[in-house]
Structure 1
Amino acid sequence: MDRYRYDYQSRQWRQRSGRRRVWLRRWRYVLLRLVFVTIAAIAALIQSVSSDHTGWIPDISVSNWLRAQPDPISGVASVIDGDTVEVHGQRIRFNGIDAPESRQYCSDGKGFDYPCGRRSAEALATFLAASKPLDCTFVTWDRYGRFVGDCRRADGTGVAAWMVEHGQALDWPRYSHGAYAEQQAKAQTAKIGMWVGAFQAPWDWRAAHADGSAPMSQPQGSVSRKLVAQGGYSCEPRRTCSQISSCEEANWYLQNCSWGGKLDRDKDGIPCESLC
């Protein structure tokens, strides 16, 4: 009789313990799902608030946290635009800067519109060709799945800093925290690249043309006039170094004219070295 009572009580205890374990597992599962959904909702909210800017926005989704951090990338780069290249099939967005879009137009010192987006890409291609390969270290993924990184030429020159210092891109404080403010001040003072005339910040241009209605071949109508540089230069007619009177003028042609690269025969970024 005592043996039977003992077996019966032991069986009841095991049943209660089993039910308790099942209950704990179920609540653990519910709590984990609740945490996951909450994190995903917060990430979606932050991303939606940031969606007014369509440049590189860090990917704050849960899936991004689970992605392995890639190794540095090294290779010969194909230029996509002034702030994006492709190396070994991987798109790489330069960290902390923003270059004019491929379809974007700016105004030169005389108020004439020119394709500053294409000019920026051409300047980048020339700069990268002078010292290969390109070496990029990972910073983050953006919302489009692009590798955002800090990149340097084989000679150690930082690409982002060079693009800003030569007026072909802007420091983007939202992501750089002012890392390239000094280079931008130099470009603005020297009035080179975009700073020779008037332009709209790339992030503002994208917001204004988010519907894709901006024509490929026509100047944009909305251009900020608060950054007007001194005039006096024009890409027509073409000039040789013997026809140029100053280093400033030579740099303007190099950065703003399609034929300007001919002034830099050794491709070191310095035009008309007898002047500069």
Structure 2
Amino acid sequence: MSTIQNQQLENVASTATPVYTLFESVVTETLDRDILARIGAGTLGAARVPGFFTTEQCDAVTKGLDTCDMGSYDEQLVQPRIAKLGPATYDYYGNVELPPAYWEHTEQSDASRSGLLHGGDPLDEAIRKLEKVWGGRVARATSKGRPMFAGMIREINAGAKMHFDEVVREFPGVVDDTPVCQIAFNCHLSMPSSGGESLVFRRAWKPSDEQHRDGYGYAESIVADEPYARVEAAQGDAIFFDPRNYHLVRPNTSEGRRVTLSFFIGITSSGELSIWS
């Protein structure tokens, strides 16, 4: 059963022809294919699935992270620092293709993450659940025939600037099977008691936004009048949204770590799901 949060269905037309914002967020105990399709189609702002991972699973993964060597995004560009396990395609957006360093990092990170869930891989658990929801196989996206990295673990305690993620626009041609839409997946392995919420705005990037660039992000003034979905997640909750829309993370306002298992989901032209980070 789904519960609608934020904006309700409301006709916002200025003429006799109805038009609806369609950017509410939902909380649902049972994720289904229709919810993912609505996010991909742009008619649902965000979905939160409580208990996607159990508390025990989350604690096991975060405890295992203590034995992992966490890296970070380029600290000359991304401040405050965001710690992460695994490479991001974002790290190589200035390249023509993914370099050898990406593939080496992929192999190392897969090995580090593979035993974090009682000797198993938390990514496999997430994939299993998504396959059940979608009714089909979920595979890693490929680049020049090679499976890309998926399943980054990130720690964002001081917030993340407003930005967008769109692999086909920011790194054209890197994915072999071009996705027709892109969905962000974040399962919250650890959360502070307050702060750390996500905001997703009904506003995609456009070229004129570059004059409002702020490092890796953009000034929040450009979305001042836009509808948005606000999602407050608890430990174990998964959230889904379209990252081609501007989005941000607010800083923690209490003790605690904000740690997520994160990747992107692409719906391909054949209706299959592919994932990458």
TM-score category, normalised to shorter length: under 0.3
TM-score, with length taken from structure 2:
0.26
- Would you tell me which structure has more strand in proportion to its own residues? 2
Q: Which has the higher contact order (CA 8 A, sep 6+)?
A: 2
**Structure whose CA Rg is larger:** 1
TM-score, with length taken from structure 1:
0.26
- Would you tell me which structure has more helix in proportion to its own residues? 1
